[in-house]
Structure 1
Amino acid sequence: MEEILGFLETLFRTIVYRMTNLIDSLVNNAMYNTEQKVRNSFEEHFQKQQENEEE
């Protein structure tokens, strides 16, 4: 019985660990994508501003 409980505990810990890593990866990916979109938006804005100043 103890072996089964030990196995289930290990399985549960493994699942929780992998789910935590998956969530962490998804959050990091979302933050990176958001940061890139913001940077691109700023770059577009400043390019348009420079073009307007040159005209």
Structure 2
Amino acid sequence: MSNITRVSDADSRVVSERDALRNMSARYTRMADGTLTRIETTSDDGKNPGSASTYAYG
């Protein structure tokens, strides 16, 4: 079971989401063309460490 709320931009790309069951949130950063460049996760209750992943293309 999941209770995830997603927020999308004008191009229907997910920019953030929150999982109420896991108490975690994620934010997605993209280039102008929509390519994913970074994902940041955070704990809503401070009990779990957050993380960040950055993607480079070349």
TM-score bracket, normalised by the shorter chain, equals: under 0.3
TM-score, with structure 2 as normaliser: 0.18
Q: 1 or 2, which has the higher strand percentage?
A: 2
TM-score, with structure 1 as normaliser: 0.19
**Which is higher, the Rg of structure 1 or of structure 2?**
1
Q: Pick 1 or 2: higher relative contact order, CA cutoff 8 A, min separation 6.
A: 2
Q: 1 or 2, which has the higher helix percentage?
A: 1
